[in-house]
Amino acid sequence: MKAIFFSTILSAVIAATLLSCNSSENNSNNNLDNDTAAVAEIHAVAEKDSTPVLPTAADTINKNVEQEKVQENIDNFSIAPIIKDYLALKNALVADNGKLAADAGRKLLGTLKRVDMKSVPSGKHKEFMDIAADAMENAEHIGDNAGKIAHQREHLASLSKDMNDLIAIFGAPQQLYQQHCPMYNEGKGAIWISEIKEIKNPYYGGQMLTCGSVKKEY
């Protein structure tokens, strides 16, 4: 009787052990399946994120058109509008007209501010910006001092150097002359740029209209 009892207990213990082992194995398999699925999902996301987005034909066309526009602007860049406003300012001082010179100074300032830097050749950006910054300061002073023609003429001397530097870098947009007054600034002299070869001195106007000489032709 005791043997039968112990045999029954032993059978129950073995059955429980087998059931526990099967349960652990199933849980282990489930965990492995879950881990495998998670890893697969991570790889799928990584592969999706790393897949390069190829440009469409429309993207390529738009990019090429934009590049062509930029290159066209660079090829067509000219300092002609700047020189035009400078000459108007210079001629106003030749005529001893400080108010007209102030108007021209403000117009030149606006023209300089509106230059699209994308149109300036990249190798000449810094040179242009340095010259333009000085030219804007001079144009602003001339524009703000309509009643002080002597002060306007002081800034014309510096502004004329700026124009000369621009021409040296970007070329003359038209026939121009570099002219020189030997008496201005206590005999130190000053240059100006003119569209005519005939001397008409902007530093003295009617007082000494023909004082000066042509130093260079552009």
CB 211 within 8 A of CB 201: yes
182 in a domain, yes or no? Answer: yes
42 in a domain, yes or no? Answer: no
Other residues' Cβ atoms within 10 Å of the Cβ of residue 28: 10
Q: Is the pLDDT of residue 153 over 60?
A: yes
2 in a domain, yes or no? Answer: no
Helix 125-144 crosses helix 80-94 at what angle (to 10 degrees)? 30
Please give the average per-residue pLDDT across 116-137, as a whole number: 96
Q: Is the pLDDT of residue 2 over 60?
A: no
4 in a domain, yes or no? Answer: no
15 in a domain, yes or no? Answer: no
27 in a domain, yes or no? Answer: no
CB 139 within 8 A of CB 106: yes
Name the amino acid, one letter, at 123: G
Give the model's pLDDT for residue 76: 79
Q: Is the pLDDT of residue 25 over 70?
A: no
Give the Å distances, CA to CA, from 150 to 67, 138, 146, 155, 204.
Answer: 47, 13, 10, 9, 9
Boundaries of domain holding 131: 73-217
Share of the chain above pLDDT 90, in %: 65
Quote the mean pLDDT of the chain: 81
d(CA 92, CA 108): 13
Give the Å distances, CA to CA, from 124 to 5, 120, 133, 199.
Answer: 105, 7, 14, 32
183 in a domain, yes or no? Answer: yes
Give the model's pLDDT for residue 16: 46
Give the model's pLDDT for residue 24: 43
Name the amino acid, one letter, at 37: A
Per-residue model confidence as pLDDT tens digits over 63-99: 554 544 445 445 679 999 999 999 999 999 999 999 9
Stretch among 1-10, 136-145, 177-186, 187-196 having the lowest mean pLDDT? 1-10
Domains identified in the chain, total number: 1
Give the model's pLDDT for residue 8: 47
pTM of the model: 0.68
